[in-house]
Amino acid sequence: MNQLRFSFDEATLGNEVPPGPEGILNEMHSEMTIAEFFAGIGLMRLGLERAGWRVVWANDIDRSKKEMYDAHFGEKRSHLLLGDVHTLSASEMPNASLATASFPCTDLSLAGGRRGFEGLHSSAFWGFVRMVNDLGERKPRLILIENVPGFVTSHGGADFRSAMLALSELGYSVDTFIVNAAHFVPQSRERLFVVCQLGAQRDVPFGLLPSIARPQRLLQFIYDNPAINWRINNLPNPPSRTTSLADVLEDLPQDSKAWWSTERSEYLLGQMSAKHRAVADTMITGSTWSYGTVFRRTRNGASTAELRFDGVAGCLRTPKGGSAKQILFRAGFGQYSVRLLSARECARLMGADDFVMDVPLDQALFGFGDAVCVPVVEWIAKNYLNLIRDGAG
């Protein structure tokens, strides 16, 4: 990675009283504390904890997510403050060397009408920016932001541009890249990440080539917006996934109430297009069990069932409607069975295999559908954030 040139001041370290030169160096190498904004059920935290980081404060507005967060981490160590980011006071937040912000993507996606920062939900980003600004000399040294790739193109790029300029004005350099969870788990889940470094100097290497993490459309945005304080660091390619959908499935008995009735299953099969029905029929007549996932979609005004059969689940979503719930299709030996993905299977698809939960299915689906993939965050921490901490980023 590129050599960092830091100004070791109080703001960079997030300390009220700056230590001496030796203390500064030691603290930069040892302090790995997190203030977690838009914490959700805590999967960002899980990924960072696997890389040696420690949460000292967290916030989310959703009570049902807090319930799941507290149940997994334990109320005594969850540190999660329930409340709207727009009403928070910087005095409530302790010093932290990293702030994370997985702010609502609703208005940046097609499902949310692409209202962007004019929407009620995604405008929460500005509440986060206000909080960082209000911290003054206690600003975190690093910021990690996560959202959907549509953030880059929202309102023709204007939303992403205004966000990156705001962070630049706060004294941060910014870098951005895209990672698909499918490199780590059998779920197609592409997400945009932004890493911000306080006080780091601008560095945009000439001749950057498109890569897995920075496709051409992202590089073009970087080059088209020189007013942003970019600092682009090298990233290795993500690993190759070694698991498939079958590896995360629970072995539910055929008499489990989770499996759909014959009539309901036949109806789903009848909703498939000729192309997808042909694939389903091939799976049914196979001599082994095979698995696919199904989403219901509206095509030309009609409800259809679209089958994915490449061993990877579709992107988990929040269950705000029947079409958002992902359906498992199991077939072979002249048979087929249909059910929703279970809460535990969703946890495994997010890399949170052992997540503690005892909540209704819809609550679990909402929590995981609105979260980040744990091994993706761990990979970013080990290949980016920790290198900055060690002075190699």
Same domain, 204 and 127: yes
In a domain, 354, yes or no: no
Q: Minimum mean pLDDT among 106-120, 236-250, 254-268: which range?
A: 106-120
Contacts of 175 (CB under 8 A, 6+ apart): 194, 195, 196, 197, 230, 231, 232, 233
Count of domains in the chain?
2
Higher model confidence: residue 116 or residue 220? Answer: 220
Same domain, 84 and 164: yes
Question: Which tens digit of pLDDT belongs to each residue from 17-47?
Answer: 334 333 333 343 348 999 999 999 999 999 9
Share of the chain above pLDDT 70, in %: 86
Is residue 351 one of the residues assigned to a domain?
no
Per-residue model confidence (pLDDT) at position 299: 81
Residue 28 has a pLDDT of: 39
| Position 154 confidence tier, pLDDT thresholds 50, 70, 90 | confident
Between 245 and 120, the higher pLDDT residue: 245
Within 10 angstroms of residue 61's Cβ, the number of other Cβ atoms is: 18
Provide the pLDDT for residue 62.
Answer: 94
Predicted confidence at residue 25, as pLDDT, reads 34
| H helix runs in 40-178, sequence order | 43-49, 63-73, 75-78, 124-134, 150-153, 158-169
* Model confidence at 8: pLDDT above 90: no
Residue 389 has pLDDT above 90, yes or no: no
pLDDT computed for residue 31 by the predictor: 83
Domain-embedded: residue 355: no
What strands lie across the sheet with 98-101, from one edge to the other?
80-82, 54-60, 33-37, 98-101, 142-147, 190-198, 172-180
Does 20 or 216 have the greater pLDDT score?
A: 216
Counting DSSP H helices and E strands in the chain, the numbers are: 15, 11
Flag whether 84 is in a domain: yes
Tell me the residue range of the domain where 261 lies.
Answer: 251-341
pLDDT at 121: 45
**Which tokens belong to 324?**
């958002």
The reply to whether 45 falls in a domain is yes
Q: Is residue 1 part of a domain?
A: no
Q: Are 147 and 286 within one domain?
A: no
Q: Do 211 and 266 belong together in one domain?
A: no
In this structure, the answer to whether residues 173 and 105 fall within a common structural domain is yes
Q: Taking all residues of the chain, what is their mean pLDDT, rounded to a whole number?
A: 87
Asked if 26 and 156 sit in the same domain, the reply is: yes
The predicted pLDDT at position 105 comes to: 56
Q: In this structure, are 169 and 288 located in the same domain?
A: no
In a domain, 245, yes or no: no
Residue 314 pLDDT = 96
Which pLDDT belongs to residue 16?
37
Residues 276 and 336 in one domain: yes
Res 123: pLDDT: 74
Residue 177: CATH number of its domain: 3.40.50.150
Q: Are residues 324 and 218 in the same domain?
A: no
**The pLDDT of residue 22:** 37
pLDDT mean over 77-94: 94
Question: What is the DSSP-derived secondary structure letter of residue 383?
Answer: I
Residue 263 falls inside a structural domain: yes
> In the chain, what percentage of residues exceed pLDDT 90?
75
Same domain, 260 and 228: no
Query: Do 37 and 151 reside in the same domain of the chain?
Result: yes
Amino acid found at 318: T
The pLDDT of residue 27 is: 43
Pair 204, 307 in one domain: no
What tens digit of pLDDT does each residue of 99-152 get? 999 987 554 554 545 454 554 445 788 999 999 999 999 999 999 999 999 889
Q: Is residue 318 over pLDDT 50?
A: yes
